[in-house]
Chain A
Amino acid sequence: MDATTEQLHGHRSLQHHFENMEQQREAGTLGMWVFLVTEIMFFGGMFLAYTLYRSAYPQAFASASNHLDITLGALNTGVLIFSSFTMAMAVYFTQTGKPRPQVICLVLTLLLGLTFLGIKAVEYHDKYNDHLIPGRLIPGRPFGPEVAQEGDHDPHKLHLLPGATVRQVELFYWIYFAMTGMHALHMIIGAGLLTFLLIFSLKGRFDPEYHSPVEVIGLYWHFVDIIWIFLFPLLYLLGRHLEHV
């Protein structure tokens, strides 16, 4: 099809209620941003809870934060940033009409996303071993970390800073599991969406004219990355300097 017939009959992916491909793409992007605003408000409530209880129990939050594995947290931040980069590149290769690198980038993004979830699972398991799953979420294994005494450097024990109590640390872990758990759920949904993109990419459904699904799922993926960009320093890093004074 030359440009004129294309304009007359439209692209095969153009829905009848849109004037042209550009309008369709703009509407899709706008709709995704509106959805992301609701997501920001959803996570916003949890960030508010975090800020509130952290300001109430700063010593306990710092103590609990120091127990988290900073290496795994930082590694996961890098993994997620890398996956955001490959996602952005997948959008780029779709826009420029290069199907092969596009598919490779989508596969890389998916693998990096799964790597993130794997590392997260290792961290959750560590918390399980140290009896740090809050409340009675795990039947028969209530929250009950061993508290380290002065001079005891066992990393599996809870090291309380002056003024912190175990109950306050438990509150931190409620917030930790709620926030990272919801984030992980978003990652799992994102991995599902990427699988869908991959199947349709292999079928050759996307081209420079029509790539809204890649663009829009990309927006979602980057949003989930941004949530982690805030979660990492707020959960993992807040008490480190207090340990080393």
Chain B
Amino acid sequence: MSEHIVSVRVYVTIFLLLLLGTGLTVAAAFVEFPGKLNTVVALTIAVTKATFVVLYFMHLRYSSRLVWVIVASALFWMAILFALTFSDYLTRGWISVGY
């Protein structure tokens, strides 16, 4: 029975990091970054927070390789969903077809 039990210290650390991330993302929203950097900053913080939750609160770091594959498949299908949709929508103005 080898189940990894995450320590209280790790849980508290992750909790504080998540609160810090929330504070950072609110603060960053009021700062004017050049170009579309505001979105990049917000999403980077969100992805980091989500990664902490998945790895520690959801124990992915200590889960079997099979669970890792399942999680990776979600990211893979999401990537397909976004990549194929935007390969259409974002490229519509690229060529003039004459009508």
A residues lining the B interface (CB < 8 Å): 21-22, 25-26, 29-30, 33-34, 36-37, 40-41, 44-45, 48, 51-52, 55, 70, 74, 77-78, 81-82, 84-85, 87-89, 92, 95-96, 209, 215, 218-219, 222-223, 225-226, 229-230, 232-234, 237-238, 240-241, 244-245
**Number of B positions contacting A (CB below 8 A):** 50
Decide if A241 touches B74 in the complex (CB within 8 Å).
Answer: no
Decide if B29 touches A241 in the complex (CB within 8 Å).
Answer: yes
CB-CB under 8 A from B85, the residues of chain A are 48, 52
Give the distance to chain B from A22, nearest Cβ to Cβ, in Å. 5
Shortest 9 CB-CB contacts between residues of A and residues of B: A237-B29, A233-B42, A85-B15, A37-B74, A240-B29, A40-B74, A241-B32, A81-B18, A33-B70
- Contact mask for chain B residues 16-31; partner A; CB cutoff 8 A; 1 contact, 0 none: 0011001001100111
Decide if B32 touches A92 in the complex (CB within 8 Å).
Answer: no
CB-CB under 8 A from B3, the residues of chain A are 22, 25, 95
CB-CB under 8 A from B82, the residues of chain A are 48, 51
21 interchain pairs, CB-CB under 8 A:
A22-B2, A37-B71, A40-B78, A48-B82, A52-B85, A52-B89, A74-B22, A84-B15, A92-B6, A95-B5, A223-B58, A226-B54, A229-B53, A230-B46, A232-B22, A233-B29, A234-B46, A237-B29, A237-B42, A238-B29, A238-B38
